[in-house]
Amino acid sequence: MEYVFQFSIILLVTFVGEILHALIPLPIPAGIYGLVLMFVCLKTGMIPLEKIRKSANFLLDAMPVMFIGPCVGFMAIYREQGIAILYIALISILTTVVVMAITGRTAQFVIRHGRGGKNG
């Protein structure tokens, strides 16, 4: 019964994220609203971590199973797509490196700017 109560709290926050998505005319997915709302609730103590810990851990443990379907689908179209798969992989690797570099530079800028422009 404890899992049901904890899971219902997570679902309630997710539902509120869906409502916010319907009410706020921004191109932000409802899941992001739910994640931000859950983060705020946890950081402010509105929802103590212990109230959702077991269900959240269960969901995290079950998450890899959710990737089996897309992986099987990807393997099924591999032969049909041919060289396009190579391009997709190359673009994915390249954009990952670019995003990491930009994020690192932005973090360095913010850290330096927060220290009054001093290094170290």
Sign of CA dihedral 93, 95, 96, 97: positive
Return the structure tokens found at 8: 């219902």
Q: Where are the domains of the chain?
A: 2-66, 82-114
Digit-coded pLDDT (tens) for 86-117? 888 899 999 999 999 999 999 999 998 876 55
What is the residue whose two structure tokens read 């670019």? 98
DSSP state of 65: G
Digit-coded pLDDT (tens) for 67-92? 888 778 777 777 777 778 888 889 99
Whether the model clears a pTM of 0.75, i.e. scores above it, the answer is: no
The type of residue at 119 is N
Q: Return the biggest CA–CA distance within the chain.
A: 56
